[in-house]
Structure 1
């Protein structure tokens, strides 16, 4: 298609529409990625909460269904050091909830399964050669990044500040995702830990566009044609959308999460670290209200989630969302429930009509 005024991302990735599916760990299924890809957008397969073997299975399913490009996404956090004292303090804060549910506050809990990009995942990239590889929380160590680039993959990563964007360009990223404060899920911040200094999408995008020479992808608070047109007008070459896809049938989310997305107002989301130990935006629930949004005593990412697992296991099967991470951006109420492929095609047509 030649109607898009900025073709840099289209030509770089080999896609029809400048619409990228955000790689949402948990909700992001192979079926969702396939639907977006077949509609002309860029499908994404998140690997943050799965094993290399599961990543291979997801890639097998994607490749069997479509020949379109795919984005394979990874977290790049550093494994935290053990801190028994901090963990014990966190367990003590959660102890009243354990007792309320008839659980032993001292019961053993499994560690979080969020794994950073490593040699095993790099071997998956080398074997399957995805067209795009994206990273969150910075970039992997140089030797791993060099191996990824050697496969021919285009490398992209999230920046939440201009300084982070410049850093990513200097490290050789082919495009940069400018993630605004409105975005749902984990902040991609890696050169700062100050959440209060984070920038909104439509202030961040033009500053990143001015600061770097590679194409910029706008993310955060974009769920309809108006948001896409605004992002393009500010210099973005494409948009990355997450929350708006959560209401599609291909997304894998619990029913109570879906109900929360359908009813929550824009001011009912907040940045919190209590579910994983790292700042992320989600719909406010009981745990966020009672523990506080940002808890300084929460264990480092991703350890905070381990002690919450028994509480979630006890309450979620009966429909409670008290202890569930209800990730959502601020534009959830703009989302329309429809199949993911239909959403991409409709959105692209509406944007082009407005651009013309």
Structure 2
């Protein structure tokens, strides 16, 4: 235990089931889908939809998907997040812990672990492992940590890393992780981001009159951009292609993992696989910058399902760039952010 340091660092990622058992997947999905920032409906309606329409069938299908990408040592997302935590800890003396928004280790568990490493914990630097702001990812992670601090009845200051979607060091880390793939003779680059319902953009629009209501809204300056997921993923892609010197007509953006019948951000990634292949794209390079750690959505939805859809539509080869994971430049970036804030 450190008797001199009063600071701690907390990394928070999405989460994962404890195993590929249907019961564990069902428990995980229930926690995830009952989050009011994921399915933002009144509690009773949300519970009815989740319990009566989703959980009776989805856990079994999801369990099979998890089995197809599960590692011998456990969940890829958890293992990769733990490796990131360990790599960051090697560069800092301030204790670093890892929490998950859903599943284990919870924010309560992670903060409790920090208190065992720091005698008199007074300040926590929270880094949500989400580059972009969305109520169903970044926002809910922050709220969960705040609730965990209240539950533990702690007198601790929480300092929060803001979304870093256009931070130069983050873009540099993306470029470094992609450099070997950029030398490939690809026809097109597709940036696939996790989708969100359009109504989430309206809810997080502080002006209530900009997002999806103004022509070319992501390019028109507005205070709404502070919390606009669509604007922020657009900026990530733009900054990346500018630094990589990629022609603007050689890339596009899409959104994956939609749920339900309400309108979600478009175009949809699965539809884009088909459209691009049918338009003559034979070699497709795919990036998923919304995820910093590989997970079910990248390893199964993109690498397996995406490849099948693209090839069935006439594409010849789909190459998926791994997430940042333990990329050295990414670890150095996290360490630099911590040190800039005084967490050495």
Taking structure 1 as the reference length, the TM-score comes to 0.25
Structure with more of its chain in helix, by fraction? 2
Tell me the TM-score normalized by structure 2.
Answer: 0.26
